[in-house]
Amino acid sequence: MPQKLTLEEINIALKSLTGWEYQNDFFIQHFVFKNFVDAFGFMSRVALLAEKMDHHPDWSNAYNRVVVKLRTHDAAGITEKDIKLAGLINQLS
Amino acid sequence: MPQKLTLEEINIALKSLTGWEYQNDFFIQHFVFKNFVDAFGFMSRVALLAEKMDHHPDWSNAYNRVVVKLRTHDAAGITEKDIKLAGLINQLS
C-alpha cells in the first residue's frame, strides 16, 4: 500500500503542481472550460488515465466547471499516487 | 424559456420517475454501479444526451457512485426539461 505523506512532503510536492491546493485531506483543483463539451472531454481523458492507474478522483461537474479531488482512501491521506495523478491531470487540462 | 413547475406538478411527475427525489430545489438520484468503468460509462451516455438536449446535470462521481442533480437554472427550479432528462437518464442506467 502506498504510504501517506507528511504535511511537509505534501507542501514540497505542491510547489511543482500548478493549481492544486491541499484542503481537508484532499488535493483539490477547480477547472473552468469553454463549455460542457470541453469539460466532459477533459473528464473523459482523466477517466481513462485514472482507470489505467487504478486510482480514481472524487469529482464533480456543472456545465463548464469541473472540481477534482484526489486522495488515497486506503492510506487515508495523500500518497505518491495522488502526486503522480495530479501532475498527469495538469498535462491533460 | 421553460416554466418553473409548482410543487404539486413536481410531485405528480415524480410518481413516474423511479428513484428520483426532490431535494433543495433539485431532482436528485444516487446511482451505484459495479465499478468505475460502469459508472463513467453511464456518465458518458448521459453526457451525450445532455449535450444533445442542451440541458446538463450537476453531478459528482466517486469510483462506482454517481450523484445526479437536475434543475433548470434559467427558471430557478424544476421544469419539463428536467422531467424529460430524468426519465431518459433512468432508461440509460
From chain B, the residues in CB contact with A60 under 8 A are 58-61
- Write the residue in B36, B51, B59 that is nearest to A56 by C-beta: B36
Closest CA to A3 of A83, A86, A79: A79
Mind listing the pLDDT tens digit for each residue in A65-87? 999 999 999 999 999 999 999 99
Mind listing the pLDDT tens digit for each residue in B2-38? 899 999 999 999 999 999 999 999 999 999 999 999 9
- How far off is chain A from B54, nearest CA to CA, in Å? 9
Tell me if B21 sits within 8 A of B14, measured CB to CB: yes
What contacts A72, CB < 8 A, 6 or more positions away? A2, A4, A55, A78, A79, A81, A82
- How far off is chain A from B36, nearest CA to CA, in Å? 7
Tell me if A71 sits within 8 A of A23, measured CB to CB: no
Is A40 in the B-facing interface, judged by CB distances under 8 Å? Answer: yes
State pTM to two decimals.
0.96
Check A60 against B63: CB less than 8 A apart: no
